[in-house]
Amino acid sequence: MDYLRIQGPTKLSGTVTISGAKNAALPLITLALLAHNPLKVTNMPEVADIKTLLKLLQNLGASCSLENHVLNVDTSTVSHTMANYDIVKTMRASILVLGPLLARFGHCEVSLPGGCAIGQRPIDLHLKALEQMGAQITIHAGYVHAVAPEGLKGAHIIFDKITVTGTANIVMAAALAHGKTVLVNCAKEPEVVQLCEILRDSGIDINGIGTPELTIIGTGGKTIEMVDFEVIPDRIEAGTYLCAGAITNSTITLERVRPDHLDAVTAKLEQMGCRVECGENTMTIHPATELKHVDIITQEYPAFPTDMQAQFLALATIAKGASTIEERLFENRFMHVSELQRLGAEIKLSGHTATVIGPCELAGADVMATDLRASSALVLAAMAAEGTTNVHRIYHLDRGYEDLEGKLRALGAKIERLKE
Ligand code: UD1
């Protein structure tokens, strides 16, 4: 197993190029299941989660190749409809094949994702919506068995909670359903918006893009002539590099980024005393003279993203005063707190709120990554800590950050990947 060794404290400078968004790319890969033509997708992030999903598509019978961030995918040869446990257990987002497979073939079998490190993450809203569209769903031997022999039918669906992959799954199902589907209380994340835009550009009648209510007229089971496209930049990777500048007291510039997708993150950095300068596709972070405490609540887009919570918790450890960070989306997303405490952070946890008392004197230690974003928070804290930190179990990090250590090293960090 690999681990990262980081020498701190470190100063960064220069420019970093942001990769394509993993969370946009995942549903866009499963969107290809609705196409009858081969597709070319550019700016594809080369991270483990993407490779896992491509393997799943290949198991279904698709042909895929990913080289130099260009994905060529052809699903016209897909003949299997079972997403098995071996792959789904390694990545929850595999559930994104459920809507497209059911809509195209009228049946499918997808392993239940099970628990994950950030808490119980049910898929009840995905299943309930598909049932409203006429699917019969049974759960047997750890698998979701879904059938809709006559195809899916348009329906009026109100999501009880805002769900990102749930919205994506049902939008894809609705695109091939018979008639009109109205989806209420949808996710408005940029990743969902891009999925809808590609469907629209491919000729699907879809309205309300970027709003909580989407109306989609399905093709009645016919596959789609899909356009080629480029994956949007990763706003969470970008936010992590902004935090890297802030925590190391450095000015760095991000290229190939969408500043408008990061408004909530930028606002919090500015409240902490940093200055963020935005160009059309660039962002430059200028560090604070003295980092101030901050209060954060994670919520759905366009509010502050839960996927940036851990990185800001790391940043708050070196800010002056008491910061509070409330996690509203996931029940158990504070596993990184005890690891940050090993580096000397003073953090109190009460229910869903972490209170950080800063500034703390961070000192290098051995720490363990617990989930994807928690891993990057540990790397950030390590760059601010005095001495050597070893971050173990970085397979979490490899799921979603492309070449994190290479990009940080190019900015001047003392970071190396070693074998246990
Ligand atoms: C997506 C992102 C993840 C991000 C999260 C919230 C991808 C691949 N992953 O995850 O990085 O942290 O959005 O922004 O895009 N819920 C239910 N029932 C359901 C579905 C969800 O109760 O059927 C709950 C979840 O437990 C959670 C909340 O709804 O409390 C939001 O989850 P959701 O938006 O679905 O997260 P994901 O799409 O899994």
Give the nearest ligand 1 atom to 124 CA.
Answer: 23
CB distance 167 to ligand 1 below 6 Å: no
Q: Relative to the CA of 22, which ligand 1 atom is closest?
A: 8
pLDDT at 41 over 90: yes
Write down the pLDDT at residue 103.
98
Distance 300 CA to ligand 1 centre (A): 10
DSSP conformational letter for 209: T
pLDDT in tens, 66-112: 999 999 999 999 999 999 999 998 899 999 999 999 999 999 999 99
Taking the CB of residue 138, how many other CB atoms lie within 10 A of it? 9
- Taking residues 249-255, what's their average pLDDT? 98
Pocket-testing residue among 98, 163, 329, ligand 1, by greatest number of atoms within 8 A of Cβ = 163
| pTM attached to this predicted model | 0.97
3-state SS of the chain?
CEEEEEEECCCCCEEEECCECHHHHHHHHHHHHHECCCEEEECCCCCHHHHHHHHHHHHHCCEEEEECCEEEEECCCCCCCEECHHHHCCCHHHHHHHHHHHHHHCEEEEECCCCECCECCCCHHHHHHHHHCCCEEEEECCEEEEECCCCCECCEEECCCCCHHHHHHHHHHHHCCECEEEEECCCCCHHHHHHHHHHHHCCCEEECCCCCEEEEECCCCCCECCCCEECCECHHHHHHHHHHHHHCCCCEEEECCCHHHHHHHHHHHHHCCCEEEECCCEEEEECCCCCECCEEECCCCCCCCHHHHHHHHHHHCCCEEEEEEECCCCCCCCCHHHHHHHCCCCEEEECCEEEEEECCCCECCEEECCCHHHHHHHHHHHHHCEEEEEEECCHHHHHHCCCHHHHHHHCCCEEEEEEC
Any ligand 1 atom below 6 A from CB of 100 = no
Higher pLDDT, residue 370 or 263: 263
Active site residues: 116
- Asked if the model's pLDDT at residue 118 lies above 80, the reply is no
Peptide bond before residue 359 is cis, with ω within 30 degrees of 0: yes
For ligand 1, say whether the CB of 47 is within 6 Å of any of its atoms.
no
Nearest atom in ligand 1 to 93's CA: 8
If you measure from the C-alpha of residue 186 to the centroid of ligand 1, how many angstroms do you get, rounded to a whole number?
12
- pLDDT value at position 116? 60
Q: State whether the beta carbon of 165 lies less than 6 angstroms from ligand 1.
A: yes
Ligand 1 center to 192 CA (angstroms): 12
Neighbours of 69 (CB within 10 A): 16
Structure-derived torsion over alpha carbons of residues 47, 48, 53, 59, reported in degrees to the nearest 10: 130
- The residues pairing with 182 across neighbouring beta strands, listed in sequence order, are 156, 215
Residue 209: is its pLDDT beyond 80?
yes
Q: How far is the CA of 165 from the centre of ligand 1 (A)?
A: 6
Cα pseudo-dihedral 140, 144, 150, 152, rounded to 10? 150
Radius of gyration of the chain (CA): 21
Q: Which parts of 227-332 are beta strand (E)? A: 229-230, 252-255, 275-278, 282-286, 295-297, 321-326
What pLDDT sits at residue 124?
Answer: 94
Going by CA atoms, what residue is nearest to atom 1 of ligand 1?
A: 164
Verify whether ligand 1 is closer than 6 Å to residue 180 (CB atom): no
CA 139 / ligand 1 centre spacing (Å): 21
Total number of residues shown for the chain: 420
Tell me what pLDDT residue 119 has.
64
Distance of CA 116 from the midpoint of ligand 1 (Å): 12
Place of tokens 């790391």: 314
Give the confidence band of 332 by pLDDT, cuts at 50, 70, 90: confident
pLDDT more than 90, % of the chain: 95
- pLDDT of residue 230 exceeding 80, the answer is yes
pLDDT for 163-195, tens place per residue? 999 999 999 999 999 999 999 999 999 999 999
Residue nearest to atom 13 of ligand 1 (CA): 164
Mean pLDDT of 24-41: 98
Q: At residue 316, does pLDDT exceed 90?
A: yes
CB neighbour list of residue 7: distance below 8 Å, 6 or more residues apart: 364, 387, 388, 414, 415
pLDDT of residue 121: 77
Measured from the CB, is residue 40 less than 6 Å from ligand 1? no
107-116, 183-192, 272-281, 339-348: which range is least confident on average?
A: 107-116
pLDDT tens digits along 365-406? 999 998 999 999 999 999 999 999 999 999 999 999 999 999
Sheet arrangement for strand 205-207: 156-158, 180-184, 213-217, 205-207
Q: Running DSSP on this structure, what letter comes out for residue 178?
A: B
Bridge partners (DSSP) listed for residue 255: 17, 282
Q: How confident is the prediction for the chain on average, in pLDDT?
A: 96
Residue 331 alpha carbon, nearest atom of ligand 1: 30
- Which ligand 1 atom is the nearest neighbour of the CA of 330? 30
Phi-psi region at 208: left, alpha or beta (left = phi > 0; alpha = psi -120 to 50): left
Q: What is the pLDDT of residue 113?
A: 85
Q: Atom 33, ligand 1: which residue's CA is nearest?
A: 163
